[in-house]
Amino acid sequence: MLFSLLKLNKKYFKIKNNTIMPNFYLFFYQIKGKSMQKKKILFLGAGYATLSAIKALPDELFEKAQVSLISNYSYHYHTILLHKVASNEDIYSSKYDLLPLLNPKINFIQDKVLKISKDKVFTQNGEFDFDILVCGLGFAKETFGIKGMQEYALSIDNYENALKINEVIYNKIQDYKNTHNEDDLKITVCGGGLSGVEFVASLAKELKTFCQKEQIDHDKIELSLIEAMDQILPMFEKKLALKAKHRLEQLGVKVYEKSKIIECEKNGIKLDGGMFIKANTIIWTAGVRGNSVIENSTDFPSTRSRVEVDAFMHPLNVENASKYFFIGDNSLFKDPKTNTPYPPTAQLALREGAYVAKALKALVDEEEFKQEFSFVSGNTVCSIGNDYAVGTVLHKPISGYLAIKLKIFIEKLWQYQLEGIKGFFK
């Protein structure tokens, strides 16, 4: 019986150590789809965009369609809180087991996506066909070709790497007690946007407590933040950016503005003009690109691993585009008024996901869907430690205690969407 099935379709089996092993994920994915004759909706990635779409799907859709999700990880992480993981402010609150968040009728497959073609998704352990594809594979580090940055700098681009940064920083500071190498106490953050500012501020506060506990002279800690543009937090007006800079300096952070990085070395950063900032730990927060799977998927034209989409989240210059949705950090959606891409933010990803849920319902019900996606950037708040923040609300500046309370509330909204009232108090 086993060999007749293998002869019938070898892709449902794989050879391991000279033993024929059934590929259960692929077998049930394919057979279930054929037997039930339902539309197959395949989600890729478990970030903000895809999860916000999945959470917004009506229950009745799962009776009409076979919904599957492929993700590298068995968990979801709250990306805008990863700086707290890296700094040691809060390691656990940003991580969620994935299965309890999903409708039980979703077929979850933990696997690594390698490539996407027009009718299949290829993973490490199999291949999956679909009727509708929703791709939200997230982002990766973009170093803009700066020499040495890829090799020597760490990046807060996922939960595991945030934990790695945490481990590297605190191990080096512990090692200093034996080696007395003061360069181990020097940490440089490259990029003065939201991620860089939030991380270095959080780290500054955590290191003060840690040094007291470990009886290490905190005055020897050197934290640097480097920004190429005229000011840190360039999305804000200058007055707000100055408030943020002054707050960082009060926390002991050296802020370098108008400082273009030429090269990253193992023990420091070389700036345009010849200045060298010594540091044995270097963190890159200055740029992201789409997931590398996108540039490996040549059926979908992309720029920096981001697929440009139209107002329905369908890829441009692709045949039968209505069966594909690209959302989140691996998509590129332009402001129709300026023809410039919106920056890839959590706010944009969440709204794209909610929009796609409506489009999927119409597709499954075979109804015409004419509503175009539109986006107006809302509130943006940057925390500078756990007791201060700066930002804009309804395009008006805000700072201080009220701003940090708003920042916490914004973070809690996603947690509430994931877990209900339990998530709000996590």
Task: Round to whole Å and give the CA distance between 273 and 114.
Answer: 41
Q: Cα 141–262–340 angle (5° rounding)?
A: 50
At residue 408, what are phi and psi to the nearest 5 degrees?
-65, -40
For 289, the enclosing helix (H) or strand (E) is: strand 288-290
Question: What is the DSSP code string of 107-123?
Answer: EEEE--EEEE-SSEEEE
Spatial CB neighbours of 156, under 8 Å, sequence gap ≥ 6: 82, 83, 86, 162, 165, 195, 199, 283, 285
Task: Answer whether 111's CB lies under 8 Å from 190's CB.
Answer: no
Phi, psi of 79 (to 5 degrees): -55, -40
Set 89, 142, 198, 352: catalytic member: 198
Residue 198 a catalytic site member: yes
Task: Give DSSP secondary structure letters for 194-244.
Answer: HHHHHHHHHHHHHHHHHHHHHT--GGG-EEEEE-SSSSSSTTS-HHHHHHH
Contacts of 117 (CB under 8 A, 6+ apart): 297, 299
- Rounded-to-10 torsion of CA 229, 231, 232, 234: -80
Residue 57 CA, distance from chain mean position: 22
Catalytic residues: 198
